[in-house]
Chains A and B, each alone.
Chain A
Amino acid sequence: MQEVKKEYTPNIVAFCCNWCSYAGADLAGSSRLTYPANVKIIRVPCSCRVNPMFVLKAFQQGADGVILCGCHPGDCHYVTGNYYTRRRMALLYSFLNYMGIEKERTRIEWVSAAEGAKFSAVMNDFVKQITELGENKRLTDLRVKEGE
């Protein structure tokens, strides 16, 4: 029997804030712009809602890349939420890289409700990047899987 070669499709988790990026994704849809179906959007009230543990859990449960989208700094629905997010994620991403996690796996983008095209472009680009990078193994196999 001929072996069927399975194409690798990455699992992407996108945390989108309710007020800008989620609406941006909506606009992308209603404008008939496409982005890969393997981007799983999780709607959060504000990008600031994203606890670093959410990002880690996503990786732990099999995400190959995590992207966080929120309103542009200064445009936050709650005025200052994304400023805090920016600091937290800058530190978290830098720290994950310090632990040896590929820096390409994490990303943060500001997408407004009017930027459907940007949303689609960002997601296409991120999926491409993760597809090239391959599967996430480091955040799930720290211990016993050596020599697999």
Chain B
Amino acid sequence: MREVELKMIERAKQLLESGEVARVIGWKKGEFCYDPSPACFESVEELKDFVYDWFCGANLSKYLIEMAKKEGKTAVFLKPCDTYSFNQLVKEHRIKRENVHVIAVECLGKLDIEKMKARGASFVSAVEVNGDEVKAVSPAGETTFAKADVLLGKCCVCNKTHQVKDEEIILHERAEKDVDRFAEVAALEAMTEDERFAFWKSQLSKCIRCNACRNVCPACSCIKCVFDNPASGISAKANDSEFEEQMFHIIRAFHVAGRCTDCGECSRVCPQNIPLHLLNRKFIKDIDSFYGEYQAGETAEGKTPLTSYTEGDLEAGDVFKGEAK
């Protein structure tokens, strides 16, 4: 990982020095080893804080909406999953493709500090990854985990590849995972209505309406958002209705249906650990099975499933046919 990081810093330096780009979007060191944050570097000096490590899970594509409007070109480091969001934003005319220089970077999966903490590692000051083993170093000693146990949820089922790049910094190839990303959704579908309701009630009741899922979501970047409208009745957590958190999540999931690239940022940032990706993934699964396989962000052209139709589409009443329940 360190070699990749050095190469990235080197390249960022070249780009900035030559004046090819006016800024580089990457990640900078946080307070701890596990909280690097997205950052914009406008000079070579600032690059001293540049970091690319096992905790750089953040999707940088959304930042381009604002950054690519500025004078000069913007270079950005995109992991495979981020390139889908990038394409989707280009498709929706939120980013001007010609203003961005995309550098594809390798990703062997990113780690989830919360999972490490839950498994007994606290005050982690450094991590070492050797193949499938993760060693977390802390003042209390070293803890070793299986990498699969401490990967971010989104990385556990990821087989994504770079969809767009102007150049690449890839030193290690990632092996294809043999996983079904819809397994969790299918497990929920197999439950009874009552069980599903109980599940979502217990999950969504934890929601504090911090709006982190909306703010981080690349698909949720409308200039005007229904949740910012106080008249909508669902703009903030209020005590006027017990229903609002469910309402908020249904509406949000619907608004990104057909546009969600399954980047998994919503679940990553949720402070209450609500598995929000399961909402969006249900829409993806349904779209795949009703209207043919569709992966948002695979290309920057073409129609989305909800802005197109065929005459022989499935009837809404037939959605539940063939179900045992």
Taking beta carbons and an 8 Å cutoff, which residues of A are in contact with B?
A: 52-53, 56, 60, 73-74, 80, 83-84, 86-103, 107-109, 138-146
Min CB distance, B62 to chain A, in Å?
24
Interface string of B241-266 (1 = CB under 8 A from A): 11101110011011001000000000
Contact of A98 among B189, B257, B310 (CB under 8 A): B189
Does B314 belong to the interface (CB within 8 Å)?
yes
B243 & A86 in contact (Cβ 8 Å cutoff): no
Distance, CA A79 to CA B250, complexed state (A): 29
Distance, CA A80 to CA B313, complexed state (A): 13
Distance, CA A112 to CA B109, complexed state (A): 54
* CB-defined contacts of A93 to chain B, threshold 8 Å: 316, 319
* CB-defined contacts of B253 to chain A, threshold 8 Å: 95
A sample of 10 inter-chain contacts (CB < 8 A) reads A53-B251, A73-B313, A86-B316, A91-B287, A94-B282, A98-B188, A101-B197, A142-B243, A142-B246, A146-B201
Given the interface pairs A100-B199, A142-B205, A143-B205, the reply to whether A83 lies near B243 with Cβ below 8 Å is no
Does B182 belong to the interface (CB within 8 Å)?
no
Nearest CB in chain B to that of A137: its residue? B197
Distance, CA A10 to CA B314, complexed state (A): 29
Given the interface pairs A86-B309, A95-B283, A142-B201, the reply to whether A100 lies near B193 with Cβ below 8 Å is yes
Contact of B204 among A83, A89, A142 (CB under 8 A): A142
Distance, CA A52 to CA B257, complexed state (A): 12
For chain B, give the interface size range: 35 or more
What's the count of A-B pairs with C-beta under 8 Å? 121
Residue picked from B198, B205, B309, most chain A C-beta under 10 Å: B309
Contact of A107 among B205, B247, B283, B317 (CB under 8 A): B317
Min CB distance, B165 to chain A, in Å?
32
* CB-defined contacts of A74 to chain B, threshold 8 Å: 311
Min CB distance, A36 to chain B, in Å?
20
Does B290 belong to the interface (CB within 8 Å)?
yes
Distance, CA A94 to CA B322, complexed state (A): 13
Given the interface pairs A139-B246, A143-B205, the reply to whether A87 lies near B317 with Cβ below 8 Å is no
B313 & A142 in contact (Cβ 8 Å cutoff): no
Does B167 belong to the interface (CB within 8 Å)?
no
Does B218 belong to the interface (CB within 8 Å)?
no
Contact of B257 among A91, A101, A108, A109 (CB under 8 A): A91
* CB-defined contacts of B241 to chain A, threshold 8 Å: 60
Min CB distance, B233 to chain A, in Å?
8
Given the interface pairs A86-B313, A98-B196, the reply to whether A140 lies near B243 with Cβ below 8 Å is yes
* CB-defined contacts of A146 to chain B, threshold 8 Å: 201
Does B286 belong to the interface (CB within 8 Å)?
yes
Closest 3 CB pairs of A and B: A100-B197, A83-B309, A100-B196
Min CB distance, B303 to chain A, in Å?
12
Contact of A84 among B205, B226, B306, B317 (CB under 8 A): B306
Given the interface pairs A80-B309, A94-B286, A99-B196, the reply to whether A145 lies near B317 with Cβ below 8 Å is no
* CB-defined contacts of B315 to chain A, threshold 8 Å: 86, 90, 108
Nearest CB in chain B to that of A53: its residue? B251
Distance, CA A74 to CA B317, complexed state (A): 17
Does B63 belong to the interface (CB within 8 Å)?
no
* CB-defined contacts of B185 to chain A, threshold 8 Å: 98
* CB-defined contacts of B201 to chain A, threshold 8 Å: 100, 142-143, 146
* CB-defined contacts of A80 to chain B, threshold 8 Å: 309
B282 & A98 in contact (Cβ 8 Å cutoff): yes
A91 & B286 in contact (Cβ 8 Å cutoff): yes
Does B145 belong to the interface (CB within 8 Å)?
no
Distance, CA A60 to CA B241, complexed state (A): 9
A144 & B243 in contact (Cβ 8 Å cutoff): no
* CB-defined contacts of A87 to chain B, threshold 8 Å: 290-291, 305-306, 309, 313
